[in-house]
Amino acid sequence: MLCKLALAVLLCGVFLCAESADQKKKLRIGVKKRVAPDQCKIKSRKGDSLSMHYTGTLEDGTEFDSSIPRGEPFTFSLGSGQVIKGWDQGLIGMCEGEKRRLVIPSDLGYGDRGSPPKIPGGATLVFEVELLHIERKTEL
């Protein structure tokens, strides 16, 4: 009976560890500043050109990059692979003026290789982002 109990506890521990590891691998998106629906005229989608301010840190708070000190927003095309996958996924549906906090697992960031010297391999990245402007190409 004691062996069965020990085995059950061991299996539960393995299951909980696997579940915890799966949760860490998911992109987490937190809205830090919402835009009122009547003020949100357009939401970001794939193909849009976005102008953003951002600050990127490691989980321990070490800052590795920021557009703010440069005084120049970062502009890119959403969903085209110009940025890490965590950004391409985590910035969809934003309004101009909205702020988000993205916690990006390694597989949606720089992976096992990292981006030396500031981002080690396997690093989870944390970004504070603000969407300043959306430019949408007119559809034909």
- Catalytic positions are 54, 64-65, 84, 110, 127
* 83 closest CA partner among 61, 62, 102: 102
Tell whether omega for the bond before 117 is within 30 degrees of 0, i.e. cis.
yes
Token pair 């502009």 is found at 75
Q: How far apart are CA 52 and CA 60, in angstroms?
A: 23
Residue with tokens 């992976």: 111
